[in-house]
């Protein structure tokens, strides 16, 4: 059983090992458990090795988190289910991690708990209890943690270009769940404005010149997207989003969300053979030549879209020539008026 141990204040000496030893005299027994009114069996065993190798090992004592334990034997607890047991200690983390705790109050998970969903995740569901380790070690652990609740989404992500690179190649450059959805202030995918901000999420990596150079990927994708009709519309709408904002096409409308593939993969939605079908999601009457007007994020050049490039150069010459000619005509006309006076 747990006993009262002095809670360490900032700058105070590290908790004494004998304090933890006292608690583990009972809680170090693997058979120690309690049967709850629901019939569920809640283990009360704490693995010493796991705790000592956790981020809290050597830093916190038992009652730094279990502040309600003040006497031995411990008083009876009103927990009916294992879930109630877990949720009861949710706010213990905020004593040290108040900034992150505050962020969770704006998350989709907290809103689910507030409306009575007892299965929505709390701190220990993602981080663990006595075996907490840094969340990014290994980095693939992040997506595995989310998979506990989001199994289907995680399975789709694992097959994507990002998921395969992370899980199979251990590539630290690719995004995990928290890079796009954040960790503590997770927003629901249907939240107003979330979709409109998705191009910014993609751009955070795809405009990183050093990172994209490693994989031979152009960093002009955001620039060329914002230059066309879709991107221009999205950027204007993003400045003043409304509850019913539903602008297309955003990056995720063409490339996918969790199922993103390489652009030249056979099952890619943006490969030439599949592109018309992708366009028809928004343009049902699109003809086989409809997608030919899209430059695939390339800026026109002699190599890519030479005719468009030639027209662009022609306009760069013609427009200044015409405007310059008009200005010259006006100046000559004014000069004639002045001379003839």
| Lookup: tokens for 201 | 């999420």
Write the DSSP symbol of residue 16.
P
Number of H-type helices and E-type strands within the chain: 18, 2
Which pair of structure tokens corresponds to residue 228?
Answer: 């066309």
Look at residue 97 and give its three-state secondary structure. Answer: coil
Return the closest-CA partner of residue 80 out of 128, 138, 36: 36
Q: Check: CB of residue 226 under 8 Å from CB of residue 232.
A: yes
CA angle 271, 277, 164 (to 5 degrees): 45
Angstrom distance (rounded) from CA 158 to CA 144:
10
What is the pTM (predicted TM-score) of this model?
0.77
E strand or H helix that includes residue 42: strand 41-43
Per-residue confidence of the chain (341 residues) as pLDDT tens digits?
333 333 444 444 444 455 788 888 899 999 999 899 999 998 999 999 999 999 998 888 888 888 888 777 888 888 889 898 888 888 889 889 999 999 999 899 999 988 888 889 999 999 999 999 888 788 888 999 999 999 999 999 999 999 999 999 999 899 999 999 988 999 887 776 778 888 989 999 999 999 999 988 888 888 888 888 888 888 887 776 666 666 778 899 999 999 999 988 888 998 888 999 999 998 998 898 888 878 788 778 788 778 888 888 999 999 999 999 999 999 999 998 888 87
Radius of gyration of the chain (CA): 30
Angle between helices 151-159 and 140-147 (to 10 degrees): 140
Q: How many other C-beta atoms are found inside a 10 Å radius of the C-beta of residue 254?
A: 20
């Amino acid at each position: 059983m747990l006993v009262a141990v002095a809670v360490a204040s900032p700058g105070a000496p590290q908790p004494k090992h004998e304090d933890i030893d006292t608690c583990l005299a009972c809680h170090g027994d693997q058979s120690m458990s309690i049967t709850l009114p629901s019939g569920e069996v809640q283990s009360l065993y704490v693995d010493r090795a796991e705790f000592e190798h956790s981020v809290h090992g050597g830093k916190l004592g038992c009652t730094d988190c279990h502040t309600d334990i003040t006497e031995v034997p411990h008083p009876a607890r009103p927990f009916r289910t294992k879930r109630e047991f877990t949720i009861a200690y949710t706010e213990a983390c905020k004593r040290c991690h108040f900034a992150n705790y505050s962020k969770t109050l704006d998350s989709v998970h907290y809103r689910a708990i507030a409306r009575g969903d007892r299965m929505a995740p709390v701190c220990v569901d993602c981080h663990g209890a006595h075996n907490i380790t840094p969340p990014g070690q290994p980095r693939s652990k992040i997506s595995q943690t989310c998979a506990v609740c989001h199994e289907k989404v995680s399975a789709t992500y694992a097959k994507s270009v990002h998921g395969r690179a992370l899980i199979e190649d251990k590539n630290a450059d690719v995004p995990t769940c928290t890079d796009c959805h954040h960790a503590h202030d997770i927003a629901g995918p249907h939240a107003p404005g979330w979709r409109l901000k998705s191009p910014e999420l993609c751009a955070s990596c795809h405009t990183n010149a050093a990172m994209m150079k490693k994989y031979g990927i152009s960093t002009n994708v955001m620039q060329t997207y914002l230059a066309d009709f879709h991107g221009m519309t999205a950027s204007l709408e993003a400045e003043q989003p409304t509850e019913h904002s539903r602008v297309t096409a955003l990056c995720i409308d063409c490339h996918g969300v969790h199922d993103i593939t390489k652009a030249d993969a056979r099952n890619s939605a943006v490969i030439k053979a599949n592109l018309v079908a992708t366009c028809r999601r928004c343009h049902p009457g699109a003809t086989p030549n409809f997608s030919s007007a899209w430059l695939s994020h390339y800026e026109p050049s002699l190599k890519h879209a030479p005719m468009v490039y030639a027209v662009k150069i022609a306009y760069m010459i013609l427009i200044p020539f015409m405007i310059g000619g008009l200005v010259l005509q006006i100046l000559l006309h004014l000069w004639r008026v002045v001379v003839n006076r």
